[in-house]
Amino acid sequence: MKALGIAYLVGAGPGDPRLITVRGLELLRRADVVVYDRLADPRLLAEAPSNAELIDAGKGPGHKMLRQEQINDLLIGKAREGKTVVRLKGGDPFLFGRGGEEALALATAGVTFEVVPGVTSAFAAPAYAGIPVTHRGVAASVAVVTGSEDPAKEAAAVDWSRLAHAADTLVVLMGLANLRAIASALVQAGRPAGTPVALVRWGTQPSQQVLMGTLATIADQAEAAALTSPVVTIIGDVVNLRETLAWFDRKPLFGKRVLVTRTRQQAGVLSELLTAEGAMPLELPTIELVPAEDLAPLDTALVRLSSYQWVVFTSANAAGLLFQRLAAQGKDARAFGAARVCAIGPGTAATLQQYGILVDFMPGEYVAEKLLEGLASRVKAGDRVLLPRAAGGREVLPHGLHLLGAHVEEIPIYEARTPSLARERARRLFCDGLDIVTFTSSSTVRNLLDLLDGDTGLLNGVLVASIGPVTSATAREAGLRVDVEAAMHTVPGLARALVEHMTAVLPGGRL
């Protein structure tokens, strides 16, 4: 019997991908097919299964990749194939999203469907601009209106003369092209020319712009600012509350384009921290971790793992790879036996804890020199120390342990290479403009400069932030100026250092 499919009309939210609903994200993660619009953030598509079919419906100003009838037929056809179809729509499906038309088509075709409401930009964009659409004593009603029709058009569906006094707050979607005509129609209908107006472009995103004016001035201001869609227009006295309630665009890193140079697998943590502070993280993995060609020495060491007095980890990457090889031997954390474990910092310690290992020692400062100082009182002459780490690492640790009389077995288990496909993207990002570059290791410094063919001039005028003194030293040796160095040499410490620096520049973190 043929499996029955289902179509979900899912609201993707107003722009920030974190504003999708829990239900929407759940469905996206188990979709067979995702049909998406241009206003659905591309980062959401990464949540779909790797084998999901992604189809760009691509409706935007001035062009349509698929007509609405074609989209309807596509949803019906895919569902009839027994597939789980997610129609990912910007904002809310039933608020000027033509979700009603799609639902009717599915219902008429006998296809099972569900509607998952989304956070609409009609309310989210004003909220992120610090404008409540209703407020006690100011506005007790709100109307959401499409602005895609020219008010001068005969038999227009929107009666602006009635709307002028129908609600305290008017929220106009898709109205930028007709802004002058809309403002004029409202004034002619008796709405005061001095009524406050706010235009919010790309609301909820780090690229958000807010333009303030009145019905009499806003069209000229929008033209002078060369404002382009998508824009949400808010009309009413509530707009004046922005002066006090603005919060999103007052975040310390708001709007800053920040280059994240960690590996693809690790970049997400720093990107999330930066996003929380209003930044626009741009990921450029400058490191690609490649396991050593010969892992036989590691496998041999793991067979006798419990015979070491200390196992020292200088990165989370080394910890993760070691446990992968340990699992391949059918073993787990119990294989460590009485061996004590050392981690260079909290990130590495957290990774080890995921595998069931609580570290015996971690230095107060997360650099090799401090790690060695701490081990000096713990490692005895004759102790066997296993040091699995990246090829080409600094000699501070193995040399110092040898001087303590330890028998050090240093095993290069991976290599940090420059990704082969990152060169073009690196140039493009710098040409488009960056405000901040972050470095989380010496390798990220060297590899970024390799991608830029050594052109340090591209970083002129760009704030350089380093995770710690070793990374900073590498950057300075390469001819770079280091503007910010994290006091705590961790990814959260780096994000915190940037926030503190930007906050100190001017109150509120503005440049």
Are 287 and 419 within 8 A, CB to CB?
Answer: yes
Kindly state the DSSP code that residue 401 receives in the 8-state scheme.
Answer: H
Under DSSP, is residue 123 helix (H, G, I), strand (E, B) or coil? Answer: helix
Question: Using CA atoms, how far apart are residues 401 and 347, in angstroms rounded to an integer?
Answer: 23
Question: Using CA atoms, how far apart are residues 312 and 159, in angstroms rounded to an integer?
Answer: 73
Under DSSP, is residue 403 helix (H, G, I), strand (E, B) or coil? Answer: helix
Under DSSP, is residue 265 helix (H, G, I), strand (E, B) or coil? Answer: coil
Kindly state the DSSP code that residue 436 receives in the 8-state scheme.
Answer: E
Helix (H) or strand (E) holding 8: strand 6-11
**Can 383 be counted among the known catalytic residues?**
no
Question: Using CA atoms, how far apart are residues 329 and 350, in angstroms rounded to an integer?
Answer: 23
147's tokens: 């602005």
Query: Per DSSP, what are the bridge partners of residue 116?
Result: 10
Amino acid code (one letter) for 229: S
Question: Using CA atoms, how far apart are residues 186 and 232, in angstroms rounded to an integer?
Answer: 17
Q: Which of 16, 174, 256, 502 is catalytic?
A: 174
Q: Which of 16, 32, 41, 59 is catalytic?
A: 59
Residue ranges in 277-406 assigned as alpha helix (H):
296-303, 316-328, 346-354, 368-376, 396-403
**Can 174 be counted among the known catalytic residues?**
yes
**Can 78 be counted among the known catalytic residues?**
no
Question: Using CA atoms, how far apart are residues 311 and 292, in angstroms rounded to an integer?
Answer: 19
From 352, 354, 371, select the one nearest 468 (Cα to Cα): 371
DSSP track, 66-117:
S-HHHHHHHHHHHHHTT-EEEEEESB-TTSSSSHHHHHHHHHHTT--EEEE-
Question: Using CA atoms, how far apart are residues 331 and 309, in angstroms rounded to an integer?
Answer: 19
Question: Using CA atoms, how far apart are residues 238 and 248, in angstroms rounded to an integer?
Answer: 17
For residue 47, CA distances in Å to 25, 41, 305, 420 come to 8, 11, 38, 25
Under DSSP, is residue 120 helix (H, G, I), strand (E, B) or coil? Answer: coil
Q: Which of 16, 37, 92, 383 is catalytic?
A: 37
- At residue 276's C-alpha, the angle toward residues 175 and 319, to 5°, is 140
Residue ranges in 129-198 assigned as alpha helix (H):
160-163, 179-188
Active site positions, annotated: 37, 59, 174
